[in-house]
Amino acid sequence: MANTAQATKRARQAEMSRQLNTSQRSNMRTQIKKVIAAIKSGDRDSAIKAYAAAVPVIDSAAGKGLIHANKAARHKSRLNQHIRAL
């Protein structure tokens, strides 16, 4: 338990950050899953649209430090590779 006013505030801030991070991470994963589902269905047009929607979300997560920049690049590269293979 926090013993000082600043410790109480930091605990409150940490909880808010945790909730925001969880929400953003979940959104990113959902967008990636939508691209994968479109790829598995074999529909190239919907896969391209889903990929175009997922890229800004992935980049945003990397920019905020939610995931490493290399992980973001890896996700985008692999998804794009699968789309090109369709």
Query: Six-digit token pair at 79?
Result: 């998804």
The domain segmentation of the chain, as residue ranges, is 5-85
Q: Tokens 């994963």 — which residue?
A: 29
Q: Per residue of the chain (86 residues), give pLDDT as tens.
A: 788 999 999 999 999 999 999 999 999 999 999 999 999 999 899 999 999 999 999 999 999 999 999 999 999 999 999 999 98
Q: State the pTM of this model.
A: 0.84
Query: Six-digit token pair at 76?
Result: 């985008």
Q: Answer yes or no: CATH 2.10.260.10 is held by domain 5-85.
A: no
